[in-house]
Amino acid sequence: MASPTPGASFQSLGGPVTGPVVISVPHGGRDYPPALIEALRVPLSAVMGLEDRLIDLVAQGAFTDEPMLVQTLPRAWIDLNRDESERDPVIDLGARPQGRASAKLRSGLGLVPRRVAGHGDIWSRRFSDAEMTERIATDHRPYHEALEQALAEARARFGVAVMLDLHSMPPLGAADLVPRIVIGDRHGVTADTRFVRRIEAEARACGIAVTRNAPYAGGHIVQRHGAPRRGIHAIQLELDRSLYLDSALEAPGAGFDATVTLVRAMLAALAAEALGQPVSLAAE
């Protein structure tokens, strides 16, 4: 059962660490604060396009007893998959000049997104340094600290920890021509290849096209927390939203249950690989 972490903007699901796998769901939040709504220059429905629509429901259906963090605030409020230094000077009065801003920041998708596809700039005003500092301290850092703690506990108990950072993506094109699942490990930097191969095999067993690191190689979360040399592996998983949503990409669709089953199989496969067990033993 979900239990909000006191004073935090995320839910912590699962009990004590009982296996090597930890789940992160940073972009499924749908609790829009009044302060966000008041600052918009576009309809609320526009910034809802930044959500990984209902990916939190997929995660909640798939997990068993793994520690899982689910952000409840929306990505439009603060993006947990960006470094806290990626503050956009166009909308953030406290942003400091950067020698070379990331491509995401330059495109308006920094720590607080500035733009959304099809609508352009989304804010009616700039945010003060105090506002942004509070969001970082209250909503960004606690999530990463909790994730770091869960991974450390798993690593201490099992000698290895594996994080699955769960996201969803818009369809990349015709379903029979493009991948519908993208696995990101920062081109082999954040996880051993053996873990990637295991979840690739689960996707292919379901007849789903899968690829690595293109167009999504993994963001700040896997980069920050993945440390294979220390026994902590981090993988970003992007699911095509048409796999689990309806034709409007708004509500659960006919493939929802099958997608939940696939993610559950991937979690079991990661645990099995970490522990050196057959998948059937890890899933029991």
Q: Is the pLDDT of residue 5 over 50?
A: no
pLDDT of 4: 38
Average pLDDT of the residues of the chain? 93
- Give the per-residue pLDDT at 8: 64
CA 226 – CA 213 distance, rounded (Å): 15
pLDDT of residue 1: 31
| Domains annotated on the chain, with CATH | 3-283 (3.40.630.40)
Contact 226, 234 (CB under 8 A): yes
Distance, CA of 173 to CA of 262 (rounded, Å): 21
Among candidate residues 143, 165, 157, 222, the one with its CA nearest the CA of residue 16: 157
Task: State whether residue 229 is helix, strand or coil.
Answer: helix
As to burial, measured by CB atoms within 10 angstroms (0-12 exposed, 13-18 middle, 19+ buried), residue 56 is buried
pLDDT at 282 over 80: no
**pLDDT above 50 (res 259):** yes
pLDDT score of 191: 98
Going from the C-alpha of 152 to that of each of 14, 80, 122, the distances in angstroms are 16, 19, 38
Q: Where are the alpha helices (DSSP H) in 66-209?
A: 103-106, 129-135, 141-158, 193-205
Q: What is the pLDDT of residue 176?
A: 84
Of 1 and 136, more confident: 136
**Overall residue count recorded for the chain in this entry:** 284
Confidence class for position 212, pLDDT limits 50, 70, 90:
very high
pLDDT confidence of 94, banded at 50, 70, 90? Answer: very high
Share of the chain above pLDDT 90, in %: 87
| pLDDT at 14 (0 to 100) | 84
- Under DSSP, the state recorded for 199 is H
Q: What is the mean pLDDT of residues 52-61?
A: 98
* 241 or 6, which is more confident: 241
SS3 content of the chain, % helix, strand, coil (to 5): 35, 20, 45
pLDDT higher for 72 or 18?
72
Distance CA 270, CA 250 (A): 29
